[in-house]
Structure 1
Amino acid sequence: MEFEHAPNDPTRKEISPLLKLALELGPLGVFFLFNAKGAQIAELFPVLQTLGKPIFLATAAFMVAITVSLAVSLWLTRRLPIMPLVTGVVVLVFGALTLWLHDDLFIKLKPTIVNVLFGSVLLGGLLFGKSLLGYVFDGAFRLSEQGWRILTFRWGIFFFVLAIINEIIWRNFSTDFWVNFKVFGVMPLTLLFTMTQLPLIQRHALADEKTEA
């Protein structure tokens, strides 16, 4: 099974990796900032005090930031990668429930829902002989069929591990600790896991992909 970009697609535009990273991590930074400085921000803009605790202000800001991020990404590239799109939809749905019901449980459940969803899709696809990870990675590289199967299985398990960690954190620690872990803990764990998969990717990369690497 192979996934690759469609180089002849005239509607597709590439952006720099740093800009792509900023678009993906920017909303998390906004979420952290508004949770940490929510009281001060509400003092500057009294109308925001109606939202209540900083976590609710942060949730509203997160929803706006991720919407802007998706809109900018669509404008620059003429398309939306599957992971940011699904994550954005879940953020908007669970963020709206958080603000409507005034209960931060829903925004805390968002990472669990997203990770279980991705893990279930990846592992479920394997049951039907489909390695769907290439769509998640947006065709970033090409692997042999066996390589995709192994990598898909590992990422499927990793998504479930992230879901379990999120459940442990929000159930046993403060909201501020959960926010800090969401912003500064999940990304390093994901990067570390990704690095551990590089030997597998190199072993199963197709010939032209190895040459480019």
Structure 2
Amino acid sequence: MRKTSTTPVAPRLRIAEPMPLKRLQTAHRITSAAQRLAVEKGYDDFTLDELAERAGVSRRTLFNYFDGKLEATIGGGPQLRQADIDTFLAGGPTGEFIDDVATLVLAILRVSADVETTREDWRTMRRCFELNPKLMIAAHEIFAGFVEGVQELVEQRSGIPAGDPESRLLVALFGAVFDVSMAEFSTGDDDRDLAGVFLDNLAVARRIFN
């Protein structure tokens, strides 16, 4: 990769803010309940009152966590901690560019590590989006913005010109590996977590391109 750039970039990323564990758990419970209802009844056919009852919270509490039904069902979306971004831009954590991009991708999972997300949760989320195109489109828009932000980080660290095909392809390849890994994890039954599946598939991809 090219020499590291010192040009500042304002990445289009959602930065994870410190949050009490109880609040994280409640937000996760609301989103899980919304996704289950969307699978069972369809996104357009469940009410906020039903969601509040399923999640075990009041209707008022729903709006303390999410702006509305759509955000509650999609969830917070991918986020990164500022410390992980700073480490990556400083040339870490390993100094090996591809390994550090992989670590940055895995940092997305660490953001929600305090709240247990089961294999069944991942299955429900994927099924929810598959059955409800409106949610799929909204989630894709959020993810696309996040990917653009990661691409900006890659360009800033590597010195690749903004919008260069090299950075787009690199981030797209990592995204493809992650998507395949998420599908494999949600349908599998072995004892690997999602991070383990991702690293295994990344190793396969590296062997292919080497």
**Larger RCO: 1 or 2 (CA < 8 Å, sep 6+):** 2
* TM-score (normalised: structure 1): 0.33
